[in-house]
Amino acid sequence: MSYVTGLECSMCRAPFPPRALYVCDQCLGPLEVTYDRDRIRRTLTRELIESRPASLWRYRELLPIDGDPRTGLESGFTPLLRADRLGAELGLRELWVKDDSVNHPTLSYKDRVVPVAATRAVELGFRMFGCASTGNLANSVAAHAARLGLSCYVFIPRTLEPGKIRASAVLGSEVVAIDGTYDDVNRLCTQVGDRYGWGFANINLRSYYAEGAKTCGFEIVEQLGWRFPRHVVSPVAGGTLLPRIGRGFDELRDAGLVDGELPRIHAAQAAGCAPVIQALDAGLDHPEPVRPNTIAKSIAIGNPADGYYVLRTVRETGGSGAAATDEEILDGIRLLARTEGVFTEPAGGTTVAVTRKLVRDGVIGADEATVICITGSGYKTSDAIADSLPPPAQLGRSLSEMDAFVAERDRRHQEVGG
Ligand SMILES: *Cc1c(COP(=O)(O)O)cnc(C)c1O
Ligand SMILES: [Zn+2]
């Protein structure tokens, strides 16, 4: 019941069979999945999608699996929150937060790409499932491998946040910490996959994995009542998510499920690792690799595999991009938390901080509907903000101490307020 017609090189358009292939043997371009778009147009309706369970699989005709989904039956379809209090702070009248920080089961956007790669890994007969990761992908790969009973190896740079390393370990994966950056880890894994015949979510299964990211775009449109926003702000690491949000918009329009002008898609990166923003500013087609140095470890990829596609999508949609310093990222985390009650990790703080700049620079107008992608949970990375928060008030057990504390606090607030 698959609508997939095969794989195709995104550079030279050479066709390939839908196996665990990811680069063109002619020109080294990345391979992407192709679908029978006519059949999709005839089959898929808003009503059919809305009748299905609230998960990423409600768009299954637009996803590259042969049979039934094997995992992720509760993943995706995360909340789209109307964020009026954050909007007021940023100067936006219609702001929405796409909240993947509560994606099931590992609290990041990776729970919408991994179920697709994992289902495909099973269909293609892999018994070992793994990834090269900056942390969140490792958590998600470990969790979905556990549910499927697959053996699992995750490869990470040694300097990741302890919370993310422990989560991968408790989820039953073999955690391999490499002495190097993410880009070193990725290079090693490219060789490991071929040598041992293992399925790597973001390497030899990358063509399928990337398709899962389209569901973020599908959900934004459906949750807005089958309409496009004017702007989307997305963080960029390896560059899977941002172009696939654009592809998702495109495919829904092609299927006749939404119409209107495609949103402008803007890229958010940390100043300590901003190869895509630098390439945008310099007018380059391909980012120049950089060496990451930022607290936003989940998006610290100096040589983004899909950087070319990020740049193309941003330019084609009339988008832009900006980078945020670590200090601005921490401010972004605190601002989202105290206005909307959503505690995100540094990647989300980056998105908030960059959105603030884009509004300030007039790129996003005050009346233009805007969706920001919050891609991970701060509950995994609370160390990142530890030094920027006041310690808890220390009191004894008596009511008189409490009275004195409240009186003092009121007095201080009056001073600040007036
Ligand atoms: C992986 C990740 C991203 C974006 O990654 P891409 O490789 O660009 O798709 C963004 N935020 C978080 C929290 C992530 O884990
Ligand atoms: Zn090619």
State residue 416's pLDDT score.
76
Q: Which helix (H) or strand (E) holds 402?
A: helix 399-417
Percent of the chain scoring above 90 in pLDDT: 96
The C-alpha atoms of residue 314 and residue 265 are separated, in whole angstroms, by 6
260 secondary structure, DSSP code: S
Buried b (16+ CB within 10 A) or exposed e, 294-326: bbbbbbbbbbbbbbbbbbebbeebebbbbbbeb
- The model's confidence at residue 318, banded by pLDDT at 50, 70 and 90, is very high
Instruction: Kindly report the average pLDDT of the chain as a whole number.
Output: 96
Whether residue 101 has its Cβ less than 6 Å from ligand 1? no
- The model's confidence at residue 161, banded by pLDDT at 50, 70 and 90, is confident
Tokens of 418: 């007036």
- The model's confidence at residue 417, banded by pLDDT at 50, 70 and 90, is low
- Helix or strand or coil: residue 176? strand
- The model's confidence at residue 27, banded by pLDDT at 50, 70 and 90, is very high
Report pTM: 0.97
Whether residue 235 has its Cβ less than 6 Å from ligand 1? yes
Can you tell me which atom of ligand 1 is nearest the CA of 113? 9
Residue to probe by mutation, ligand 1, list 240, 277, 377, most atoms within 8 Å of CB: 240
Percent of the chain scoring above 70 in pLDDT: 99
Whether residue 241 has its Cβ less than 6 Å from ligand 1? yes
> Residue 1: pLDDT above 90?
no
State residue 418's pLDDT score.
52
Distances (CA, A) of 239 to 7, 65, 127, 243, 353: 19, 22, 27, 7, 19
Whether residue 57 has its Cβ less than 6 Å from ligand 1? no
Distances (CA, A) of 60 to 154, 352, 377: 27, 31, 26
Arithmetic mean of pLDDT, 269-291: 98
> In angstroms, what is the span from residue 31 Cα to ligand 2's centroid?
8
Q: Which residue has the tokens 């700049």?
A: 357
The C-alpha atoms of residue 158 and residue 177 are separated, in whole angstroms, by 5
> In angstroms, what is the span from residue 120 Cα to ligand 1's centroid?
21
Q: Which ligand is nearest to the CA of 241?
A: 1
273 secondary structure, DSSP code: B
Arithmetic mean of pLDDT, 102-120: 98
> In angstroms, what is the span from residue 329 Cα to ligand 1's centroid?
15
Please name the amino acid found at residue 365: G
Residues 6+ positions from 71 with CB-CB distance below 8 Å? 115, 118, 119, 144, 147, 148
Q: Residue length, the chain?
A: 418
Q: Are 65 and 57 in contact (CB under 8 A)?
A: no
Q: Are 152 and 130 in contact (CB under 8 A)?
A: yes
The C-alpha atoms of residue 6 and residue 321 are separated, in whole angstroms, by 33
Arithmetic mean of pLDDT, 150-160: 95
- The model's confidence at residue 333, banded by pLDDT at 50, 70 and 90, is very high
State residue 240's pLDDT score.
98
pLDDT in tens, 165-222: 999 999 999 999 999 999 899 999 999 988 999 999 999 999 999 999 999 999 999 9
Beta-strand ranges (E) seen in 4-102 are: 4-9, 15-16, 31-35, 80-82, 95-99
Can you tell me which atom of ligand 1 is nearest the CA of 235? 10
Arithmetic mean of pLDDT, 251-272: 98
> Residue 265: pLDDT above 90?
yes
The C-alpha atoms of residue 150 and residue 127 are separated, in whole angstroms, by 6
Whether residue 139 has its Cβ less than 6 Å from ligand 1? no
